[in-house]
Amino acid sequence: MKNGNIKNIKKQLLSDNWYTLNKFTYEYQKPDGSWETQYREAYDRGNGAAILLFNQEKGTVILTRQFRMPTYVNGNSDGMMIEVCAGLLDGENPEDCIKKEVEEETGFKVDNVQKVFESYMSPGSVTEILYFFIAEYEDKMKVSEGGGIDEETENIEVLEYSFEKALDMIQTGEIKDAKTIMLLQYAQINTLFS
Rounded-to-integer distance, Cα 165 and Cα 26, Å? 47
152 CB neighbour count, 10 Å cutoff: 11
pLDDT of 58-100, one tens digit each? 999 999 999 999 999 999 999 999 999 999 998 889 999 999 9
Strand order across the beta sheet in which 35-44 lies: 6-15, 20-29, 35-44
Rounded-to-integer distance, Cα 162 and Cα 90, Å? 32
pLDDT at 174: 97
pLDDT at 152: 67
pTM of the model: 0.91
Contacts of 66 (CB under 8 A, 6+ apart): 80, 81, 83, 148, 154, 155, 156, 157
Q: Nearest to residue 132, comparing CAs of 180, 175, 67?
A: 180
The average pLDDT across 44-49 equals 95
Q: Across all residues in the chain, what is the average pLDDT? A: 94
The helix (run of H) or strand (run of E) holding residue 117 is: strand 114-120
pLDDT at 102: 96
Confidence of residue 3 (pLDDT cuts 50, 70, 90): confident
pLDDT of 97-136, one tens digit each? 999 999 999 999 999 999 999 999 999 999 999 999 999 9
Provide the residue type at 11 as one letter. Answer: K
Q: Please check whether residue 43 is in contact with residue 20, taking contact to mean a CB–CB distance below 8 angstroms.
A: yes
Q: How far is CA 110 from CA 61, 84, 92, 96, in A?
A: 14, 15, 17, 11
Specify the higher pLDDT residue, 151 or 126.
126
What would the DSSP string read from start to end of 11-45? EEEEE-SSSEEEEEEEEEE-TTS-EEEEEEEEEE-
Rounded-to-integer distance, Cα 38 and Cα 57, Å? 53
pLDDT at 2: 73
Confidence of residue 1 (pLDDT cuts 50, 70, 90): low
Q: Nearest to residue 172, comparing CAs of 82, 85, 63, 106?
A: 82
pLDDT at 26: 96
pLDDT at 146: 83
